[in-house]
Amino acid sequence: MANKKISKKDIAKLLNQWSREFAVFVPSKESGIATMARWDGKDVTLDWYRNTVIPKANFLPAMEEMFRFQKDKESYNIELPPDGGKQLIFGIRPCDARALAIIDANFKNLYQDPYYLSRRDSAVLIGVGCINPSESCFCTSLGISPTESKDVDLMLTDIGDQFLIEEVTDKGKKLIAKASGLGEATKEDETRAKEMKETSYNKVTRKINTEGIVERLIACFDDQDFWEKIAAKCISCGICTLLCPTCYCFDINDELTKQQGTRFRSLDSCAFPVYTKMPMENPRAEKWKRVRQKVCHKYGFFPMSFNAIACTGCGRCIRLCPVNWDITQVLNNLPVKTEVGK
């Protein structure tokens, strides 16, 4: 079956059809920063390479109400938050879509987190490939192409004035079956899309070597000098974790008044000195241990548990870091233990 295509100027019409069934989210800078925002009916701009605030926020918000409680004599009444409805995320990049698949390992497969799943299972992801990856992008080193369709329901590839549409999942196929205003992709369109994909792939120049990464990290885990040196300039802020598409650590807090309260869940960061201080202590009081944890969790412990690296090479942690702490430099300069030194 031939792929479909859509003229860029008709995107708004398409979203309009879908907005009857879904809460449609699109990349937007309306709020003052690039983020996924509720579609306002206007044309959609897709000219920047990725949002600052990750689409992860649509599934694991920076802060969410878990429930409200009210004291009723000897017991409590619990009130759950209303269901947010079905989301359609338009314009998600392949790296950010892969990130959701990575988060699934914990929130869907190992545990079944009702808050996450209520949003994740009903959502539709419509990917748009990157034709201009950023200097900080290194997705190809993590087995992701900037235009790949693996983790979305529909994948759009820029072929000039139009997008080629790949129908990836049944969910995606159903959406397309109901949509109007689409054209049939020609052989030339397919060729053009293939060229665009290849060009984009080759534009990703930042590389890391992931071969044997788990073993290499274990080998240098106790090299305090190395970790202290690379951690020296880190300021222990939460940018690289809170804005990471795969980081999911959270904290839980109650807000109490006399007879009632609200329980909140919000993202937490292993970079913070107060991380896990609520139950006891932070076992990583020193900064170098926290930096080591961040690197080792993504590239060592997570792969050991879930057989996947918890990084998609989106590069936000590099681009947004106030001190230009660069994980690719760290990974490319891991100390190698030589036999002679033994």
141: left (phi over 0), alpha (psi -120 to 50) or beta: alpha
Nearer to other proteins, 312 or 328 (CB): 328
80 vs 278, beta carbon nearer other proteins = 278
Interface with other proteins, residue 249, by CB under 8 A: no
Which residue matches tokens 């992701």? 144
Cβ(88)–Cβ(126) under 8 Å? yes
Q: Which stretch binds other proteins (CB under 8 A): 10-18, 44-52, 71-79, 179-187?
A: 44-52
* Closest separation in Å from C-beta 89 to other proteins: 19
- Is 243 one of the binding residues for other proteins (CB under 8 A)? yes
Q: C-beta of 273: minimal distance to other proteins in Å?
A: 8
Q: Which long-range contacts (CB under 8 A, 24 or more apart) does 12-15 make?
A: 12/41, 12/42, 12/43, 12/44, 13/181, 14/179, 14/181, 14/182, 15/39, 15/44, 15/90
User: 187, 152, 189: which is closest to 173 by C-alpha?
Assistant: 152
Interacting stretch for other proteins, rule CB under 8 A, among 113-121, 139-147, 211-219, 325-333? Answer: 325-333
- The distance from CA 260 to its chain's CA centroid, rounded to whole angstroms, is 35
By the rule CB under 8 A, 190 interacts with other proteins: no
Among 18, 49, 107, 302, binds other proteins (CB under 8 A): 49
Q: How far does Cα 147 stand from its chain's mean position?
A: 15
Q: Which H/E stretch holds residue 296? A: helix 287-296
Q: Using CB under 8 A as the criterion, which residues of the chain lie in contact with other proteins when the complex forms?
A: 31-33, 48-49, 52-53, 62-63, 132, 134-136, 232-233, 235-239, 242-243, 251, 253, 255, 264, 266-267, 269, 272, 274, 278, 287, 318-320, 322-326, 328-329
